[in-house]
Structure 1
Amino acid sequence: MPRLLDDLRGRRVGVALSSAFFGFYAHTGFLRALRARGVEPVAYSGSSAGALVAAFAAGGGLDRLPPLFAHLQRSDFWDPSLPFGRPPGLLRGDRFRALLATHLPVDRFEHCAHKLVTVATDLSRGARHTDFSGPLAPAVHASCALPLLFRPVRRDGALHADGGIVDKVPLTALLEHAEVDAVLVHFIPSAGLARPLPRGPWGLLDRLLDVARDDVDRLLDVARDDGWRHQVDLARARGVEVHVITSHPPRVTPFTLRRGLLAMGATEAEAGRALDG
């Protein structure tokens, strides 16, 4: 059986990165494994954490992420909002937006070296919103605005939130805006809650965020799974090869950022084995 890596040679390869709670590290490891093997994607799409990493990669700034992650502290993005503020969210998101504005390699989609598509959820319509042009930081911010953790992002009169709510893997969005022969999907499943009870107030908040996130995931997983499978079927019907690499990285949260580089390294190794096997 030919290696997946051999299957990709000489083809226009697109990459679709799934939503995942603090999956930035794992997605970065995945792309590092691709680059180490000479795979140069021509287009990227992503939801949530996938949108952030896709933006850096498409803009030619993948190398910026490991040092950024190595020095990232919770205080860099932790800006609690008023308890009963509107729209609701534990964090305002201003510090997160500032991080994006400072570190993204380009400021507009049109300035990216490769095609980029990100997905957010338009809460006013309950539908997918696709970004492929215009300012980059607001689009990535909106795609990463996980309900309850971040306030929704107001854009053009609408409230936008995490893209993973409606589109965990934006495969169709990628194919709507890029010409590719094959797509590599990096899929990070939703995490479970089978772990020891937390200690202390921060540990409790960490668990509450986990519960909230997993409750949302459970409500959406059936519909998203059907939608995701349908996207794969449509892509293959168009003659586009779809290869899915699933990773199970060490869990990272706002309170366990120190595990981030471990998750990146573990995923790079895991993805490398999948590509070489």
Structure 2
Amino acid sequence: MLFPYKRKGKMGLALSSGAAHGLAHIGVLKVMEKNGINFDYICGSSVGAIIGALWAEGYTSGEIYQIAKRMNWKKIVKITIPKRGFFSIEGLEKIIKEYIPHNRFGGLKKKFGCVATSLKSEKPIYFTEGDLAKKIAASCAIPVIFKPIQINGEYCIDGGFIENTPATLARTLGADSVVGVRLNKHYQFTTKPDSIIKILLQTIKIMSPSEKFSKYIDRGDVVINPKIREIDYDGLDRIDKLVELGKQAAQQKIKNINGKFLLKKDR
């Protein structure tokens, strides 16, 4: 029999934050597509929210790769007087609307959610409906670099501070089992701290495993860990290498994913 397996329940995919490292998600998606692995729920934090939303809209990994290659990253940010942050993230909202014109969670082809962090409550905020671009921007709003995004009276910052890999959100949406993609496990800060972005993102990495946030650490039933060791968080020019690292890590976990999500059919 060509397909002797059936699925065990609903499947979720959780894509973590990680700035430029998030381009490795594209490689993971390539492997999922090649192996015919489909997900009922797609969730993302920060850069994972951008890539996850595009995939949920129906763009292929190859198309997302081309979008990333064409993207003028300087247009994402707008320099402002540094009152709450050095940059506005309005440009990102415009880009999301360009590629997902309906700008609605409910208009996506797959169920999608993203996570931000509340400055007030210090807890994750889950977004699953409403203005898609604004809520993805909130999920990406690295503090100090970007101004917080105000949504429903809450000032929101980057989701990676509290829920780096949003497996819990995927389960909340209805996933029985979750594949998580964690980007910062293998990264070592070996370069000079010569930019505010590098320093802040390394600070997030240090804080994420802390006891304070431990109750929010659910990275999934199968976790893919691309071995990103020496590429900086702002290494957008290393897209091909990052995609390849994502592919390698995902391919190593295909048997684990099949074992977790597939059940052999009765003859």
Q: TM-score, normalised by structure 2?
A: 0.83
Q: Distance in 2 between matches of 1:7 and 1:217?
A: 42
1:24, 1:9 → 2: CA distance?
31
Unaligned 5+ segments in structure 2 are 257-267
Q: Deviations over 1:7-43 (max 9, x none)?
A: 9852332111122122331112111111111001111
Return the offset for 1:62: 3.5
Please name the residue that 1:261 is paired with. 240
What SS does the corresponding residue of 1:99 show, helix, strand or coil?
Answer: helix
Structure 2 distance, partners of 1:48, 1:32, is 20
Measured against aligned partners, the alpha-carbon deviations of 1:185-230 in whole angstroms (never above 9, x if no partner) come to: 11112643212x48xxxxx33xx3211221233233223773355x
The alpha carbon displacement at 1:100 in A equals: 1.5
User: Is the aligned partner of 1:126 residue 2:125?
Assistant: no
In 2: Cα distance, 1:101 partner to 1:15 partner: 23
Q: 2:265 is matched with which residue?
A: none
- Does 1:46 find its partner at 2:25? no
**TM-score, normalized by length of structure 1?**
0.81
Partner residue, 1:158: 154
After the TM superposition, which residues 163-178 of structure 1 pair with which residues of structure 2 at under 5 Å, given as runs?
163-178=159-174
* CA apart distance, 1:268: 1.4
- 1:185 to 2:164 alignment: no
Residue in structure 2 matched with residue 238 of structure 1 by the alignment: none
Please say if residues 166 and 224 of structure 1, whose CA atoms lie closer than 8 Å, have aligned partners that are also in contact.
no
Give the SS at the match of 1:221. Answer: coil
Once residues 74 and 134 of structure 1 are traced to their aligned partners in structure 2, the CA distance between those partners, rounded to angstroms, is: 25
1:98 aligned residue: 94
Q: Percent identity over the alignment?
A: 21
Q: Return the structure number with greater helix share.
A: 1
- 1:235 alignment partner in structure 2: none
Could you tell me which residue of structure 2 aligns to residue 15 of structure 1?
A: 13
Alignment of 1:100-119 (within 5 A): 100-104=96-100, 106-119=102-115
Partner of 2:210: 222
Over 3 Å counting, the alpha-carbon distance change for 1:59 and 1:77 in structure 2 is same
Give yes or no for the alignment of 1:77 onto 2:66. Answer: no
Following superposition, the deviation at residue 145 of structure 1 comes to 0.8
SS of the residue corresponding to residue 120 of structure 2 reads coil
Say if 1:18 and 1:49, in contact at 8 Å, map to a contact too. Answer: yes
The aligned counterpart of 2:261 is none
Separation in 2, partners of 1:13, 1:121 = 25
Q: Which residue of 2 aligns with 1:246?
A: 225
Deviation at 1:68, TM superposition (A): 1.1
* Secondary structure of residue in 2 paired with 1:45: strand
Alignment deviations for residues 125-184 of structure 1 (CA, whole Å, 9 cap, x no partner): 222111111121111110011112211111222211111111112122211112x34211
d(CA) in 2 for partners of 1:104, 1:213: 28
Cα distance between partner residues in 2 of 1:145 and 1:121: 9
Residue 271 of structure 1, aligned match among 223, 227, 250: 250
Q: Which sections of structure 1, spanning at least 5 residues, go unmatched?
A: 1-5, 199-203, 233-240
How much does 1:106 deviate? 4.5
Distance 2:70 2:4 in 1: 37
Aligned residues: 250
- For the 8 Å contact 2:43–2:49, the answer to whether it is kept is yes
Letter of the structure 2 residue corresponding to residue 53 of structure 1 = I
